[in-house]
């Protein structure tokens, strides 16, 4: 592994903030985190406090390792202005993060260039460079969690678009008359297949008496129904739960099928907590692609789980920071 330089990675989340120092060898598809630390979430204390914690944490890590990072990548849950290095709209993060000049403020504290990127685009870049997508050229990632994010790599380049917002695969319309999404539109994949949407389907089954195993697992408490307990209830024999999960997997499959006809990728990666549902999800997505894409053969399109888990985002922003320093990852940058 050719170590270019030490880089910093920040994964800014609502419930926790991940920090790391690491090295990447993008050509070899390898990265290593040499130091890491988890902080409290990017939450209710306001962004100033959170940025202070991040700067202090990163400086401490650099002291421990004995070397400052050459550049720092920051993954943010929402829309960020890549060129200005400012947050624009981070809907799931409390603390008034609108138009915060994170790159300038952190850059001054850390005395190194700071580069922002949407967190799921970062995870996509991480999986593409180091994880499930190693060796592929065109892939898409769906991050299935509380929300549904995504990212696409086309011909070896992370597609960003002018706002860094390309790849928002969770906001494809898969059910035109469907429920309202958090984004304000109707029928988005996120509105029907996110963790909360799966839990809602479970609550309905629970209350209508169709899911005895789910009832036992949740002690009849709707507040304890999650995508995870839905998976457990299906495994424990609740047929209605299995059917609901198959229906929801089919909706993810429609979104995946739309990406397949548009880009014909080699690989669709499913990550995030909901991907823990396993076979019922992956088989459903594969079946839907086979069933719904008839216009050309899709045998070559693999549907695989993410390989890096929660490290995908850290690895991705490391790669992002390295590429923005001109380390030659060949990433797309038409956002200028």
Nearer to a copy of itself (CB atom), residue 4 or residue 266: 266
Which structure tokens are listed for 279? 């076979």
Do 152 and 166 touch, CB atoms closer than 8 A? yes
294 binds a copy of itself (CB under 8 A): yes
Please state, in angstroms and rounded to a whole number, the distance separating the CA atoms of residues 117 and 287.
33
Do 149 and 168 touch, CB atoms closer than 8 A? yes
Nearer to a copy of itself (CB atom), residue 67 or residue 334: 334
Tell which one of 7, 121, 159, 286 touches a copy of itself (CB under 8 A): 159
> How many residues at the interface with a copy of itself, by CB under 8 A?
50
Closest CA to 301 of 156, 159, 138, 174: 138
Dihedral sign from CA coordinates of 230, 189, 10, 308: positive
223 binds a copy of itself (CB under 8 A): no
Residue 80 C-beta: closest distance to a copy of itself, Å: 11
Tell which one of 66, 135, 184, 336 touches a copy of itself (CB under 8 A): 184
Nearer to a copy of itself (CB atom), residue 52 or residue 175: 175
Report which DSSP code applies to 41: -
Question: SS3 for 116?
Answer: strand
Within a 10 A sphere around the Cβ of 335, how many other Cβ atoms?
14
92 binds a copy of itself (CB under 8 A): no
202 binds a copy of itself (CB under 8 A): no
Tell which one of 58, 114, 123, 166 touches a copy of itself (CB under 8 A): 166
In the block, residue with structure tokens 């990212």? 151
Residue 167 C-beta: closest distance to a copy of itself, Å: 7
Tell which one of 115, 171, 286, 324 touches a copy of itself (CB under 8 A): 171
What is the distance in angstroms between the CA of the first residue and the CA of the last residue of the chain? 32
Nearer to a copy of itself (CB atom), residue 66 or residue 296: 296
Q: Which residues contact 183 (CB under 8 A, 6 or more apart)?
A: 171, 190
257 binds a copy of itself (CB under 8 A): yes
Q: Which residues here bind a copy of itself, judged by CB under 8 A? A: 79, 137-138, 152, 154-155, 157, 159-163, 165-169, 171-176, 181, 183-187, 251, 254, 257-259, 261-266, 291-297, 300, 332, 334
């Amino acid at each position: 592994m050719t170590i270019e330089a030490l880089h910093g990675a920040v994964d800014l989340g609502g419930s926790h903030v991940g920090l790391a120092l690491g090295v990447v060898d993008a050509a070899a598809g390898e990265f290593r985190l040499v130091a890491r630390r988890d902080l409290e979430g990017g939450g209710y204390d306001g962004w100033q406090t959170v940025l202070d914690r991040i700067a202090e944490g990163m400086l401490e890590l650099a002291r421990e390792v004995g070397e400052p990072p050459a550049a720092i990548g920051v993954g943010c849950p929402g829309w960020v202005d890549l060129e200005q290095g400012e947050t624009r709209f981070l809907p799931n993060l409390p603390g008034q993060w609108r138009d915060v000049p994170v790159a300038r403020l952190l850059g001054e504290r850390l005395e190194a260039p700071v580069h922002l990127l949407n967190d799921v685009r970062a995870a996509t870049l991480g999986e593409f460079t180091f994880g499930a997508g190693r060796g592929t050229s065109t892939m898409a990632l769906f991050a299935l969690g509380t929300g549904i994010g995504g990212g696409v790599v086309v011909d070896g380049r992370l597609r960003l678009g002018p706002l860094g917002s390309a790849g928002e695969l969770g906001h494809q319309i898969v059910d035109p008359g469907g429920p309202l999404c958090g984004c304000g539109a109707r029928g988005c994949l996120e509105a029907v297949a996110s963790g909360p949407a799966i839990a809602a389907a479970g609550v309905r089954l629970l209350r209508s008496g169709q899911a005895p195993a789910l009832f036992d697992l949740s002690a009849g408490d709707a507040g304890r129904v999650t995508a995870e307990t839905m998976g457990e209830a299906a495994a424990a024999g609740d047929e209605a739960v299995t059917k609901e999960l198959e229906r929801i997997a089919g909706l993810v499959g429609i979104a995946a099928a739309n990406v397949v006809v548009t880009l014909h990728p080699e690989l669709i990666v499913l990550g995030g907590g909901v991907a823990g549902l396993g076979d019922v999800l992956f088989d459903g997505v594969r079946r839907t692609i086979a069933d719904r894409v008839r216009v050309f053969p899709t045998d070559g399109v693999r549907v695989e789980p993410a390989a890096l888990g929660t490290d995908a985002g850290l690895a991705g922003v490391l790669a992002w920071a390295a590429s923005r320093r001109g380390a030659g990852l060949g990433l797309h940058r038409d956002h200028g």
